[in-house]
Amino acid sequence: MSVKLVDISKVFSSSDRHERRVVAVKGVNLEVSAGEMVTLLGPSGCGKTTTLRIVSGFEPPTTGEVWIDNEMVNALPPNKRDTSMVFQSYAIFPHLTVSQNIGFGLELKGWKPARIRAEVEKIMSVMDLRDMFNRRPDQLSGGQQQRVALARAIINKPSVLLFDEPLSNLDAKLRELMRLEIRRIQQTFRITSIYVTHDQAEAMTVSDRIVVMNDGEIMQVGAPFEIYSRPANRFVADFIGRVNFIEGTAVGARDGETIVDFGAGSKTFSNLPDDRTRDGNLIAVVRPESLQISRSGSATGGLLEGRIAKSVYLGPTVEYEVEIEGRSRPLLAVVYNPIEAGFFSAGERVVVDFNPAAAHLLPG
């Protein structure tokens, strides 16, 4: 089933007269297709949970409409919406066994025990919980408990699954495993899902599309690749991964190309995002892995001259901060496979360059 949000906004008015009202969600429009998994990603307080609660029906919107498939559900209470929510604190019942926890929803629906058992066994095998039938939650690992919570949400075959930071209680390693697991299960059952996180790697892993939010508003909607390599504005570029902004000026434009002067040299950009990148002050968005460093005076030449201010060796990569004259912030370069690429030492004079095809232009 599809989910559609039309002009949704939410204003919380505080009872305390000294506190101003909070506009948590501002004019959000979003369509999630049937079977799609979409992630709401953004900094703390940007309105992710509020948006999710509006879909589930736990929070009424101040304005706008919520559609599930072809039905406007604003007036329906949560239990009539055919959505299921998986929370950060996954709240499985401590006094029930794993199978009782998972079958709970079906029991409420009045299913016969044999039928419940068959359904519970089926889902436990999919979720790799086979041998845990009679265990209690306190005899499970965090990841297993998380899977029980997920199985309990999925067994009711909700049309829409809503996740609010479901993995934030787990350690880093388990989080990485579980996000793959969630994606696999979502794909197996093709359940339309909205997933909330502020972890960008998690969003990249589980999503068909990512919705980047800031301050109650949608900044960009796109596939992970688009969000990372073609960010719509500085906020998105900065929030998703690490980034260098290199300022320049358009000195010519023709046939969908813009020539940008960076002071020490110029570059020609094709694949322009829009007409705003045809003249005036521009910014090249260059990811650290796309910034190339070479020794000063080497044959390759370069765009900007600088000095290695800092280097951090991480094994597979080395991260360098390069100070460029006339720039307040150093540029960040990540060099992969340093044994082959060679090392630079602090204080060394270098030149940096980038391929415009791997960069993205924004208005300055």
Ligand X SMILES: Nc1ncnc2c1ncn2[C@@H]1O[C@H](COP(=O)(O)OP(=O)(O)OP(=O)(O)O)[C@@H](O)[C@H]1O
The CA distance from 5 to 119, in Å, is 33
Contact 9, 25 (CB under 8 A): yes
Nearer to ligand X, 20 or 95 (CB): 20
39 near Mg ion (CB under 5 A): no
Alpha-carbon distance 187 to 208, whole Å? Answer: 11
Interface segment toward ligand X; rule CB under 6 A; list 29-37, 38-46, 251-259, 318-326: 38-46
Kindly give the pairing relationship between strand 160-164 and strand 192-197: parallel
- Partner that binds at residue 336, options ligand X, Mg ion, none, CB closer than 5 to 8 Å by kind: none
Name the binder of 13 from Mg ion, ligand X, none, CB < 5-8 A by kind. none
Q: How far is the CB of 162 from ligand X (least distance, A)?
A: 12
In the numeric block, the tokens 């016969």 are attached to 112
Candidate residues 9, 39, 49, 197; the one interacting with Mg ion per rule CB under 5 A: 49
- Residue 308 near which of Mg ion, ligand X, none (CB within 5-8 Å, type-dependent): none
Q: Which of 27, 35, 45, 363 binds ligand X (CB under 6 A)?
A: 45
**From 45-53, 136-144, 236-244, 330-338, span contacting ligand X (CB under 6 A):** 45-53
Min dist. Cβ of residue 224 to Mg ion (A): 21
> Between 60 and 301, whose beta carbon lies closer to ligand X?
60
Name residue 151's amino acid: A
Among 15, 18, 20, 44, binds ligand X (CB under 6 A): 44
Closer to ligand X by Cβ: residue 20 or 254:
20
Q: Which is nearer to Mg ion, 49 or 200 (CB)?
A: 49
Segment interacting with ligand X, rule: CB under 6 A, options 41-49, 128-136, 149-157, 175-183: 41-49
User: What's phi and psi for 92, nearest 5 deg?
Assistant: -90, 150
Among 12, 225, 336, 343, binds ligand X (CB under 6 A): 12
| Pick 22 or 259: Cβ nearer ligand X | 22
Count of residues that bind Mg ion according to CB under 5 A: 1
Query: What's the min distance (Å) between Cβ of 239 and Mg ion?
Result: 16
* Binding piece for Mg ion, criterion CB under 5 A, among 46-54, 186-194, 293-301, 333-341: 46-54
* 288 CB-near residues (< 8 Å, 6+ apart): 242, 243, 244, 319, 332, 333, 334
Name the binder of 179 from ligand X, Mg ion, none, CB < 5-8 A by kind. none
Among 9, 38, 41, 47, binds ligand X (CB under 6 A): 47
Q: From the CB of 48, what's the least distance to Mg ion, in Å?
A: 5
Q: Which stretch binds ligand X (CB under 6 A): 48-56, 65-73, 76-84, 91-99?
A: 48-56
CA distance 91 to 124: 18
Site for ligand X in 13-32 (CB under 6 A): 22, 24
Q: Are 306 and 324 in contact (CB under 8 A)?
A: yes
Is 48 one of the binding residues for ligand X (CB under 6 A)?
yes
| Candidate segments 47-55, 82-90, 104-112, 351-359, binder of Mg ion by CB under 5 A | 47-55
For ligand X, which stretch binds (CB under 6 A), given 43-51, 102-110, 128-136, 342-350? 43-51
Interacting positions 194-233 with ligand X (CB under 6 A): 198
The residue ranges that bind ligand X (CB under 6 A) are: 12, 22, 24, 42, 44-50, 198
